[in-house]
Amino acid sequence: MGKKSDGKVLAQNKKASHDYFIEDTYEAGMVLTGTEIKSLRNGRANIGDAFATIRNGEIHVHNMHISPFEQGNRNNPLDPTRTRKLLLHKSQINKLLGLSKQEGYSIVPLKIYVRNGYAKLLLGLGRGKKQYDKRETAAKRDAQRDIQRALREKQKVAR
């Protein structure tokens, strides 16, 4: 069901893959006001601490920081970390609601990008990692890096 991004990535949550096992992804539109899209296109967004909640059949993202546009006017929003509404189909919201109610699951923003002129937010359904899972992931990554390094060295010697 997850969709991949076609456009330019404007902001990415690198901490999400470290803290969660991402099981499914959803592409959501964002309701932006004033000059927020201009600020987004300049890459002035941060979703490191952001999270999503579902209330009254609507999904909202909290703690997503979009800096005010410097050349902006009175339409600039006053609060850069305000709660923003996300646009998803009702069936997707209901599915996310049911899955996120389970123990250990949460809805995590993964990246912001532009597709066909519209700002999109890629949401992931994540299951929280335990400390030993994080260590195991780091050990696998280090082992893979060592293997790649050894293969590169072997190819250099062969030439």
- Measured CA to CA, the distance from residue 36 to residue 93 in angstroms comes to 24
Q: How far is CA 128 from CA 24, 108, 125, in A?
A: 13, 10, 10
pLDDT digit string, tens, across residues 54-77: 999 899 999 999 888 877 666 676
DSSP string, 23-86: EEEEEEEE---TTHHHHHHTT-EE-TT-EEEEETTEEEEES-EEPPPTT--TTS-S-TT--EEE
pLDDT value, residue 38: 85
pLDDT digit string, tens, across residues 8-21: 888 898 888 888 88
Global pTM reads: 0.76
Residue by residue, pLDDT tens for the chain (159 residues) are 555 545 688 889 888 888 888 999 999 999 988 788 888 888 888 998 899 999 998 999 999 998 888 776 666 767 788 899 999 999 999 999 988 888 888 899 999 999 888 899 999 998 887 877 788 888 999 999 999 999 998 888 877
pLDDT value, residue 5: 45
- Measured CA to CA, the distance from residue 145 to residue 132 in angstroms comes to 20
pLDDT value, residue 39: 86
